[in-house]
């Protein structure tokens, strides 16, 4: 048998269809990327127009976007500091709010006090 005949013996029955599908996937991914880039460009133009109509500079917008959010007492976006830590796994903590984690339940069930797990 020659080299060409060996290749033919090992080709998949649907190899052409698979190759065609791969090419179609590549084409669609490129089309998706082009559409995303067009959408981004349109968005940037809208933002520029809005900034211009407000008399705001891109730098002012960037500063406003990067500004840290102040957490007020009633703000739910604030992070609650943990009050309890698993002595066997310091990555496991609990704030003392909500349902007790399994590791807390196990330790309490074993006779430990919640105070012994306090940070």
1 band by pLDDT with thresholds 50, 70 and 90 = very low
Compute the distance between CA of residue 28 and CA of residue 23 in angstroms, rounded to an integer. Answer: 9
> Closest Cα to residue 47, out of 3, 106, 39?
39
Structure-model confidence comparison of residues 3 and 29, the more confident one: 29
Domain ranges, ordered by start, for the chain: 3-66, 70-119
- Per the prediction, the chain carries an average pLDDT of 86
15 band by pLDDT with thresholds 50, 70 and 90 = confident
- What integer is the mean pLDDT of 23-37? 97
φ, ψ of residue 102 to 5 degrees: the values are: -55, -40
- According to the model, what pLDDT value does residue 2 have? 53
Compute the distance between CA of residue 99 and CA of residue 106 in angstroms, rounded to an integer. Answer: 13
- DSSP letter at 57? -
- Say which CATH topology domain 70-119 has: H-NS DNA Binding Protein (4.10.430)
- What integer is the mean pLDDT of 7-34? 87
Query: Which stretches does DSSP call E strand in 42-88?
Result: 84-86
């Amino acid at each position: 048998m020659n080299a060409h005949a060996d290749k033919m013996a090992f080709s998949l029955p649907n190899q052409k269809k698979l190759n065609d599908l791969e090419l179609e996937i590549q084409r669609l991914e490129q089309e998706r990327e082009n559409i995303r880039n067009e959408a981004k460009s349109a968005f940037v133009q809208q933002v520029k127009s809005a900034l211009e109509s407000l008399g705001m500079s891109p730098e002012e917008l960037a500063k406003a976007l990067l500004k840290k959010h102040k957490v007020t007492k009633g703000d739910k976006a604030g992070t609650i500091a943990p009050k309890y830590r698993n002595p066997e796994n310091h990555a496991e903590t609990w704030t003392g709010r909500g349902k007790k984690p399994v590791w807390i339940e196990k330790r309490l069930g074993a006779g430990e006090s919640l105070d012994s797990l306090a940070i």
